Amino acid sequence: MLFKNITILDENFIARKNMYVGIKDDTIDYIDKVEPESDYGDSYDGKGKLLMSGFFNAHAHTPMTLLRGYAENLSLQDWLTKKIFPFEDKLNGNAVSAGTLLGIAESLKFGIVSTSDMYYFCDDMAKAVLESGVKNNLSRGVVNFSEDDIDLLPGFQETKHLFETFHNEGNGRLKVDISLHAEYTSNPKTAEHLAKYAVKTGANVHVHVSETESEHNECKRKYGMTPVRYLNHCGIFDTKATAAHCVWLEGEDFDILADQGVTVASCPVSNLKLASGVCNVPLLLSKGVSVAIGTDSVSSNNSLNMIEEMKFFAVANKGKQFDPTLVTPVDALRAATFAGAKSQGRNDCGRLSQGFKADLIVLDLSSPNMHPVHDMATNIVYSASGSDVLLTMVDGRVLYRNGEYLTIDLEKVIHDVEKETGRILGELK
């Protein structure tokens, strides 16, 4: 495809008008002010439109679309024990498949090209990812308090099966990560075993860290260490790791994350809505930690709207720390694109740059909310609406365009979602 006469947001988040961008197979092959001589196939009229990197969602639980708006206005404890856990107990492969496809459709609508997911029924999720054409770093969240042989633990066996079956499938679109669900849902033996498996396979690690104050303090009471220090001690950060949330970090936690090259996946909407707090993004950035953005699950967000998430990401710390100079729109854009791709081990993704993968989105610039343009990056983060995304392309393939899905039968997916949620609600009665 050749994007013609389009405004681009380049790799430095600077807008450049009237550009030509040629896509060859899955790669950005040409970027210039001059029309290329090579034939790139279909052309796309870029008038009134902006081309930029798609978004990389660094922390999600995609099938939880099924629980959108199901558990609201509750304390965290009631939310989990009275609503989320009983509902999840009724899930099966069909339900997870339908929920995953719905979440992928929503992700594409909001310009997300790749997602780091932690959940279960992962075979069904893997199939949905491969069929729909998106990218995903998939992991089975391992929870374990027992002292049994970890090799025999179903969660670990599923992780191994998943890694051996699906890692790097779909021309590398699907990667399998290793997930320790969290410190507070496991014991040291489990953490150490998963860490060793990750080192052995070279897989990425994905883990929840210091999301709530009580979890953070309980870890200190139990082990005499913060969750970051404890996990580091267990070897969890010995490979490339993504630590989700990190709301209650303190002291040397920031330095450990920096030294170990851990990416923090900040989830500002979920953290505010569940009343967990605000991740100290400015301090992380000043320490040199790579910070990406996660939507967390739809049951706590309740959407996968990355443009909205960037706005929350940029303003949450301004408001909390009473300093309007903290976290710029470019910080937010970097987190939502390149830092997310990097956290997924996709170093050739997340930049509109020659030779990078063609994971791109087109934004509508003709709307009143995108005028005037004093600064394009600022307009994208603060003034665009999620639904201003007109086209989403992954590995050079258009998956979403003007409300239509090219690889997903949305009507069927919605039908399946309604059937499965109806079944579950019926069983819970």
Q: Which residues ranging from 146 to 165 are in contact with a copy of itself (CB under 8 A)?
A: none
Give the range of 167-175, 182-190, 192-200, 367-375 binding a copy of itself by CB under 8 A: 367-375
Residue selected from 236, 285, 298, 393 as contacting a copy of itself according to rule CB under 8 A: 298
Closest CA to 93 of 158, 45, 28: 158
374 is a site residue for a copy of itself (CB under 8 A): yes
| Cis geometry, peptide bond prior to residue 372 (ω within 30 degrees of 0) | yes
CA-CA distances (angstroms) from residue 123 to 9, 112, 259? 36, 21, 34
Residue selected from 31, 50, 281, 304 as contacting a copy of itself according to rule CB under 8 A: 304
141/117 Cα distance (integer angstroms): 9
Q: Which amino acid makes up residue 214? A: S
302/270 Cα distance (integer angstroms): 8
205 is a site residue for a copy of itself (CB under 8 A): no
6 is a site residue for a copy of itself (CB under 8 A): no
Compute the least distance from the CB of residue 284 to a copy of itself, in Å.
18
Joined together, the tokens standing for residue 391 give: 């086209």
3-state secondary structure of 165: helix
Residue selected from 367, 397, 401, 407 as contacting a copy of itself according to rule CB under 8 A: 367
Over the window 208 to 247, marking each residue x when it contacts a copy of itself by CB under 8 A and - when it does not, the resulting string is -----x----------------------------------
388 is a site residue for a copy of itself (CB under 8 A): yes
Compute the least distance from the CB of residue 63 to a copy of itself, in Å.
12
Q: Is 69 left (phi over 0), alpha (psi -120 to 50) or beta?
A: left
Give the range of 30-38, 56-64, 349-357, 374-382 binding a copy of itself by CB under 8 A: 374-382
Spacing of C-alpha 82 from chain mean position? 27
Over the window 96 to 135, marking each residue x when it contacts a copy of itself by CB under 8 A and - when it does not, the resulting string is ------xx-xx--xx-------------------------
Residue selected from 53, 65, 100, 136 as contacting a copy of itself according to rule CB under 8 A: 65
142/144 Cα distance (integer angstroms): 7
Compute the least distance from the CB of residue 292 to a copy of itself, in Å.
20
Give the phi and the psi of residue 245 in degrees, each rounded to 5: 80, -80
Nearer to a copy of itself, 276 or 290 (CB): 276
CA-CA distances (angstroms) from residue 341 to 144, 186, 206, 318, 405? 29, 28, 14, 25, 23
Compute the least distance from the CB of residue 379 to a copy of itself, in Å.
5
61 is a site residue for a copy of itself (CB under 8 A): no
Joined together, the tokens standing for residue 81 give: 């024990």
323 is a site residue for a copy of itself (CB under 8 A): yes
DSSP state of 82: I
Closest CA to 76 of 275, 303, 213, 272: 275
75/57 Cα distance (integer angstroms): 26
355 is a site residue for a copy of itself (CB under 8 A): no
Report whether 48 contacts 32 (CB < 8 A): no
55/392 Cα distance (integer angstroms): 10
Q: How many CB atoms lie within 10 A of CB 154?
A: 11
Report whether 337 contacts 53 (CB < 8 A): yes
277 is a site residue for a copy of itself (CB under 8 A): yes
321 is a site residue for a copy of itself (CB under 8 A): yes
279 is a site residue for a copy of itself (CB under 8 A): no
Compute the least distance from the CB of residue 247 to a copy of itself, in Å.
10
Give the range of 130-138, 185-193, 317-325, 336-344 binding a copy of itself by CB under 8 A: 317-325
404 is a site residue for a copy of itself (CB under 8 A): no
Compute the least distance from the CB of residue 327 to a copy of itself, in Å.
9
Nearer to a copy of itself, 64 or 142 (CB): 64
283 is a site residue for a copy of itself (CB under 8 A): no
